[in-house]
Amino acid sequence: MDDELLQRHVENYAAWVRAFRTSTAPELLPVDTGDPLTALGQELALLSDTIARRESELKWLFDVVNTLGQGILLEEVLGHIYTGFKAVVPFDRIGCGLLRDNGHRLVAHWARSQLGTVRIGVGCGQQMAGSSLEAVLSGGEPRIINDLVAYLAAKPESHSTRMIVEEGGRSSLTCPLVVDRVPLGFLFFTSRHVNTYTAVHQSLYQQIAAQVSAVLRRSLVYEELLSSNRLLVEQTPALQVVATTDLLTGLLNRRATDAVLVRAWERLRSEGVPFGIVTCDIDHFKSINDTHGHQAGDVVLRGVARCLKATTRAGDVVGRVGGEEFLSVVTSCGAREQLMKTAERLRRAVADELIAGPPAMSVTASFGVAVAHRTESIADTVAAADAALYEAKRTGRNRVCFRRQAA
């Protein structure tokens, strides 16, 4: 080759290299088989292709990680994985299995397939001990099986492989999910063709394995919190019942009854809505416990509570505020006569009730009545009702007494 031709070729290569530095995709150099620099030109072309492919892979890696980070719910993240990995990892099926029972059991959590009918459905599980997946976790690297039919013939005991083969899978890439050395589960890529996966696919996954695992773990924690919150919301009514109910009688407990009193008092002060209080105490209750035992006393308490609740009108509230003491808040009623009639109705209901035993018995109760007034406090009104109750006890029991104000 003469010097002039050599010079021209060198200039062409120099121009190509300059274009490569600025655009990474210059036009290919013409190949001249008689040119001793052809080998250099071919190598430069291969270098261009390699760098372009690597640039594309890096962009994909960035895009996938960025997209996964936008997902919050686990289904969203797995959906992004399905879409994002399609560009560089060939598959016809992708599944996610999560470790349960402190890592002893792998459970299928999610799958999308373009193969046949899914045989490994959500919830299907297998023990990890002694399985080939246990070895994959120990090694920490993706596993390639490029002929699942041959693998199954060699290991016919592999139930999961059999299911995948029956779905139509012929090669697989199994990728462990690990966060801070704690195993989370696996991503399973499956192709309908043999010899689909190479070391390139292993390498691509490994470069973002930590980020994928961390995002999935974050989503799992978030969903666990959501689940706990939903459970708490579902249990809130039951917890409120437990917190406000006297467990023996089923009536409101002392705290809940006091809360009803406060609300009634606030309505009296702000809106002028009247209310009254009726207190109740079972007569000779100590002798019932002493004679028949505390179990019989509990039966009496439940029986009296049942009578009071059944006789109390809608809108009124009755609660157990002490051992054998009850209190009723009678709303929209501020007249003495009405309150006395209400208390008398309660007294007769208790006296007429035959409480099942053993032994069966009848009991009576004494009642005190007081009307709430704006000029008095809640404590004054309760004290007035208690004073009336003590008067009923003192004057013979099984009766109703009224007190206008605290003594």
Each residue's pLDDT tens digit, 209-254 = 777 777 777 767 666 666 666 665 566 666 666 778 888 999 999 9
Q: Could you report the per-residue pLDDT of 299-322, keeping only the tens digit for each?
A: 999 999 999 999 998 889 999 998
Give dist(CA 60, CA 226) in Å, integer: 31
In degrees and rounded to multiples of 5, residue 275 shows phi and psi of -155, 165
pLDDT band at 155; cut points 50, 70, 90: very high
- Rg of the chain over Cα atoms, rounded to whole angstroms, equals 41
pLDDT(204) > 60: yes
Looking at residue 406, what is its pLDDT?
Answer: 43
Instruction: Supply the pLDDT for residue 65.
Output: 53
307 and 249 Cβ atoms separated by less than 8 Å:
no
CA separation (Å) from 387 to 63, 232, 381?
Answer: 79, 43, 10
Contact by Cβ (8 Å): 283, 324: no
- DSSP code of residue 280: E
Query: Which pLDDT does position 182 carry in this prediction?
Result: 85
Q: Are 169 and 191 in contact (CB under 8 A)?
A: yes
Q: Which residue has the tokens 């959500």?
A: 122
Give the CB-side neighbour count of residue 355, counting CA atoms within 13 A: 22
pLDDT digits (tens, 9 = 90+) for 340-358: 999 999 999 999 988 877 7
pLDDT at site 271: 86
The per-residue pLDDT for 214 is 72
DSSP run (H or E) holding 311: helix 294-311
* Residue 191: HSE in the Cβ half-sphere, 13 Å Cα cutoff: 18
Closest C-alpha among 260, 261, 275, 288 to residue 365: 288
pLDDT surpassing 70 at residue 60:
no
Gap between the Cα atoms of 223 and 231, Å rounded: 12
- At CA 168, angle to CA 166 and CA 170, rounded to 5? 110
Cα–Cα nearest to 44, from 22, 23, 58, 28: 28
Check residue 212 and give its pLDDT: 76
The answer to whether residues 183 and 160 touch, using CB atoms and an 8 Å cutoff, is no
pLDDT digits (tens, 9 = 90+) for 108-146: 888 888 887 888 888 888 899 888 999 898 888 899 999
64 pLDDT band (50/70/90 cuts)?
low
Q: Number of H helices and number of E strands within the chain?
A: 12, 13
Question: Which pLDDT score, from 0 to 100, does residue 50 have?
Answer: 56
One-letter amino acid at 72 equals: I
Q: Given its phi and psi angles, is residue 56 left (phi above 0), alpha (psi -120 to 50 degrees) or beta? A: alpha
Q: Could you tell me what percent of the chain has a pLDDT over 70?
A: 74
Residue 53, Cβ neighbours under 10 Å: how many? Answer: 12
- Determine how β-strand 400-402 pairs with β-strand 365-371: parallel
Question: Model-level pTM?
Answer: 0.48
Q: What is the pLDDT of residues 157-175, one digit of tens each?
A: 988 999 999 999 999 999 8
Q: Are 368 and 279 in contact (CB under 8 A)?
A: yes
Structure tokens at 258: 């006091």
Task: Name residue 353's amino acid.
Answer: E
Structure tokens at 360: 């069966």
Band of pLDDT at residue 404, cut at 50, 70 and 90: low
